[in-house]
């Protein structure tokens, strides 16, 4: 089974494992007319735990056969080092991309700056060449001058057994400029409190990445199930 959009959680993988279903993680955009990369589990992880599978499938993977060129580039358009640390923007090139945005020449020109399509997704490249998205450009949290990935925090929160869904956005802060704010939707019949989640995060994240506020509620979603972060950004203000 193929999944796209947000990375599959360990909970989802556990449920699909019980059904004997294997997951393939695809990455693409409407503008790319299909997948640009894919990530599938290697044989060595066939019997791994759901958490281990989720960690691997968090990657967007390597170039899909239908995509001509994929790179993670710095601000000068040069490919970043494949060190698993240096972030850049995923950029695409090829004949499966859109021609432009309808009646919006300015947006089209900006999107194809430098001859490559700018996805707006920030990613790293692992030593094996696999791409892993760390955040959207618009979702990165700048706290005290440090770039904080909302996806990194969400991935940690999704490891908690009581959490069904987690979404992290920037919250204004007088001292640090922005700090992480986490919105939590718990599993049916499960409860968890702020102090427990702070302790859970403390053993897995640097101190400045731990959410300064936790909000427990049903998360707003689109008709296709995608979390509406713009609604949560407004709620965090």
Tens digit of each residue's pLDDT (9 = 90 or more) over 213-230: 999 999 999 988 889 999
Say what the pLDDT of residue 64 is: 94
124 and 147, same structural domain?
Answer: no
45 and 85, same structural domain?
Answer: yes
Count of beta carbons in the 10 Å neighbourhood of residue 194: 14
84 is in which domain, residue-wise? 1-135
157 and 113, same structural domain?
Answer: no
pLDDT for residue 189 is more than 90? yes
Kindly report the CATH number assigned to the domain that includes residue 187. 3.30.300.30
Domain boundary among 106, 135, 164: 135
113 and 23, same structural domain?
Answer: yes
14 and 126, same structural domain?
Answer: yes
pLDDT for residue 195 is more than 80? yes
pLDDT band at 6 (very low <50, low <70, confident <90, very high): confident
Kindly report the CATH number assigned to the domain that includes residue 125. 3.40.50.12780
pLDDT band at 7 (very low <50, low <70, confident <90, very high): confident
Average pLDDT over residues 145-166: 94
Mean pLDDT estimate for the chain: 94
195 and 118, same structural domain?
Answer: no
91 and 60, same structural domain?
Answer: yes
170 and 191, same structural domain?
Answer: yes
Domain boundary among 101, 120, 135: 135
3 and 93, same structural domain?
Answer: yes
Rounded-to-integer distance, Cα 29 and Cα 97, Å: 9
193 and 92, same structural domain?
Answer: no
Nearest to 167 by CA among 221, 223, 101, 90: 221
Number of domains in the chain: 2
Say what the pLDDT of residue 10 is: 78
Nearest to 3 by CA among 232, 225, 222: 225
**Cα atoms in the 13 Å half-sphere on the side-chain side of 229:** 17
DSSP state string for 93-131 = ESTTS-S--TT-HHHHHHHTGGGSEEEEEEEEE-TTS-E
Domain boundary among 120, 135, 150: 135
pLDDT band at 235 (very low <50, low <70, confident <90, very high): very high
Q: What is the pTM of this model?
A: 0.81
196 and 96, same structural domain?
Answer: no
């Amino acid at each position: 089974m193929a999944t796209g959009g947000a990375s599959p959680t360990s909970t989802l993988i556990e449920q699909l494992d019980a059904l004997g279903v294997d997951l393939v993680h695809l990455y693409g955009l409407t503008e790319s007319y299909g997948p640009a990369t894919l990530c599938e589990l290697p044989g060595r992880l066939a019997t791994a735990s759901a958490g281990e599978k989720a960690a691997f499938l968090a990657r967007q993977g390597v170039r899909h056969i239908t995509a001509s060129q994929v790179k993670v580039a710095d601000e000068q358009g040069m490919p970043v080092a494949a060190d698993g640390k240096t972030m850049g923007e995923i950029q695409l090139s090829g004949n499966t991309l859109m021609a432009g945005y309808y009646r919006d020449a300015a947006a089209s020109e900006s999107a194809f700056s430098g001859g490559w399509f700018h996805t707006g997704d920030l990613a790293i490249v692992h030593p094996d060449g696999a791409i892993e998205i760390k955040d959207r450009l618009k979702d990165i949290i700048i706290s005290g001058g440090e770039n904080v990935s909302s996806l990194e925090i969400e991935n940690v929160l999704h490891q908690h057994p009581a959490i069904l869904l987690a979404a992290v956005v920037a919250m204004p802060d007088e001292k640090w400029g922005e700090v992480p704010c986490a919105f939590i939707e718990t599993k049916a019949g499960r409860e968890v409190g702020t102090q427990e989640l702070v302790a859970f995060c403390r053993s897995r994240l640097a101190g400045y990445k731990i959410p300064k506020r936790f909000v427990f509620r049903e998360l707003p979603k689109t008709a296709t199930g995608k979390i509406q972060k713009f609604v949560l950004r407004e709620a965090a203000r």
